[in-house]
A = this chain, B = another copy of it.
Amino acid sequence: MRKIVVKTQRSPRSVIGVDLGGSRIRLAFVGPMGRRTGRVLTVPVTDRALTSVLALLIDSIRRLQGSGPRPSAVGIGIPGFIHRKKVCILRSPNFPGWRNVPIRDLLEPRLNLPVLIENDANAAAFGEAWIGSGRGARSLLYLGLGTGVGGGVVLDGRVWHGREGLAGEIGHITIDPKGPVCGCGNHGCLESYASATAVVRSYAEKAGRPVTGLTARDVALLARGRNQKASAVYRELGRALGIAIADLLNIFDPERIVIGGGVAQAWPLFHSAMMDEIGRRAIRPVRLGERIKRGKLKDEAGMIGAAGLAYHRLGVKDF
């Protein structure tokens, strides 16, 4: 990726990056070099109805504005399928009632600011490519291991959207056609092995009992305490991830593959199983250490990436 230089006349100096999730909104000012300026404002989402979320978004952005300079734009990372031309949210797993929501056009007049919307995993991919673990890479594939598994593709500093705007659904490539049922209805998608949901389900299966209230983080703590079943869960996750990454290397031979999201915090628990499987399945596994990286921006990748995309929209051409 070429160096990013802000070249606009007005030289935007501040943009608000927003990470809209199903349970909370997180937002912060982000400078033109990708550095967050000031604190992250976190607002819980209690009502997922469209009007409530819109009101909460506007209110949160105004609250944050009160604390800093007037921003030049707002960039928002949103879970779900976004129609590229109509700039609307087709549907979102986190907001089940939303259908064809023209969220940009709903927000811009009320905020009186340009608004950029992007799928949250694409935004995170862009963030990592911009100033994270993918900095300097011409091509980057991103995997975000969270409640589900999201993904993003960045080529030459731009998010690759594909024909229908659906590129990057890496969570739904097949690992084993007879594998566990996935949220999408299929069997054996990467998401059914490598999401937080999958970690908990797999641990419950191995423990042979329901594990109400347990999180993927709890399973990681158990694995760190040398619990055999919990350790096996993360090794299996590593193998599934390794198969997916070998696929990506074989198809695309990218410069960088970045693994982010909450589950990536358990990196030491799955890294070696993942690398073994990649070594076995990539057609020519060279320079893997420098090409396969853990996300650097952690849970701020989407927020920072969305801000970066807003800078881009403001006329930062030299990406």
Contact = CB atoms under 8 A, between A and B. Distances in A.
A181 interface: no
Contacts of A163: 139, 253-255, 287, 291
B174 A253 contact: no
B253 A284 contact: no
A213 to B, nearest CB: 31
Interface string A252-291: 1111000000000000000000000000110110110001
A186 B164 CA distance: 33
B186 A280 contact: yes
Given A174-B246, A175-B174, A243-B177, A284 B251 contact: no
A79 interface: no
28 contacts: A81-B284, A139-B162, A151-B251, A155-B155, A161-B253, A163-B253, A163-B255, A163-B287, A164-B284, A164-B287, A166-B249, A166-B283, A166-B284, A167-B253, A168-B251, A170-B250, A170-B251, A172-B250, A174-B243, A174-B246, A174-B247, A174-B281, A175-B177, A176-B177, A186-B280, A247-B247, A248-B251, A251-B251
